[in-house]
């Protein structure tokens, strides 16, 4: 979890630390968080910072092949995961 130096300060002027060496870099909540930062907070981060977050996550992605039986055996490549949230 993160420790936020001043909860009333703006994102750009705040000080953050990682208390337990925990990162949201999984293909579940971590990916959702990265999408939120990319789409909703892009004015708070430089393009280079956002690209760095995605590059770091990209190293952990694992592709698997999936056969869609209802589509006549159509084969697609998907991101490997145990479960995914829709929230």
Reported as a single tens digit per residue, the pLDDT across 16-50 is: 777 777 667 677 777 888 888 899 988 888 899 88
pTM here is 0.54
What is d(CA 32, CA 57) in angstroms, rounded to the nearest whole number? 12
Do 78 and 66 form a contact (C-beta atoms < 8 A)? yes
Q: What was the pLDDT predicted at 9? A: 81
Which residue, among 83, 36, 42, 34, has the nearest Cα to 58 in the 3D structure?
34
Residue with tokens 């698997």: 64
CB-CB contact of 49 with 66 (8 Å): no
Mean pLDDT, the chain, whole residue set:
81
């Amino acid at each position: 979890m993160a420790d936020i130096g001043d909860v009333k300060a703006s994102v750009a002027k705040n000080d953050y630390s990682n208390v337990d060496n925990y990162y949201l870099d999984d293909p579940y909540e971590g990916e959702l968080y990265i999408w939120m930062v990319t789409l909703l907070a892009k004015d708070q981060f430089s393009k280079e910072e956002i690209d760095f977050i995605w590059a770091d996550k990209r190293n952990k992605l694992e592709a698997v092949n999936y056969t869609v039986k209802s589509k006549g055996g159509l084969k697609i490549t998907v991101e490997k995961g145990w479960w995914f949230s829709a929230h």
